[in-house]
Amino acid sequence: MIGGWKLGLVVVGALGVPVLHNWAAGLPLASADPGSGFMRIQDVSASVTVGLLLALPVVLLARISHRRRLRQYEAEVRRLERENRDMRLRLVLEEARRRAAWRAGLGSDRAERRAGYSPSVEDIDGVTPAEFEDVVRRLLERDGLRAQVIGGRGDQAVDVLAMDAADRVIAVQCKHTIRGRKVGSGVLYQINGTAVPVYEAGAAIVVTNGSFTRDAVKWGALHGIRLIDREALARWSAEADHLYQVVELRPPL
């Protein structure tokens, strides 16, 4: 189909040739009298021919340009498809890496974890509060998590921050006590107020070598704060149970 701009070229040619012919012959450039030679049939025919000849190369160039752009679009689509396939492959490999990390932690047997790091609760009783935070960090790393101690001024109720194989953040508050002392609900209030808003944690845990008050246990169960008391700490450390087993935390995969 002839577009508007192509039809315009035909019209220009149809009008231009008779005008140029009359101008060269000394005839009026425009006249209502057909006998003057303006708009003779042969001139109209020649004009249409010239118009079509003017339109033809433009049409050919437009088609060539269109095909070039089409090839570019097709190449871009193929590139995006390759990138999409590569991205899916990377996701599969990342999933495999996470599974491997999971197997390295919970998947390892208890004897392997115990050989890695498993101090007794009595040994833990003898450490300082700062050393207790490092004990918890090492236990987390033994179980295949990445962990760092952030305790100190400005820690906002989180002493150890860990990340599991699925990049889930786990906020841990450590409370080293003299044996027989109990941890109250106030500690749970603090970590509950910062774990998600400040650290975007998917789980919050309070660990102590002592025990928790009845109110703390009840409040923790109500608000999803997981508690590790002296008995659970012995299972986690000396007996080398995995953290997810001790606090009944959903595995990352």
User: Over its length of 253 residues, how does the chain's per-residue pLDDT go in tens digits?
Assistant: 455 565 565 566 556 666 666 666 666 655 545 555 445 555 556 666 666 666 677 777 878 888 888 888 888 998 999 888 888 888 877 767 666 665 555 556 788 888 889 999 999 999 999 999 999 999 999 998 999 999 777 678 899 999 988 889 999 999 999 877 899 999 999 999 999 999 999 999 999 999 999 999 999 999 999 999 999 999 999 999 999 989 988 876 6
Q: What are phi and psi of 161, to 5 degrees?
A: -115, 125
Residue 186's nearest CA partner among 154, 220, 160, 210 is 220
- Look at the chain and count its residues: 253
Residue recorded with tokens 């749970």: 188
Report whether 81 contacts 106 (CB < 8 A): no
Q: Looking at the domain covering 117-246, what would its CATH class be?
A: alpha beta
- What are the residue boundaries of the structural domains of the chain, listed by start? 4-103, 117-246
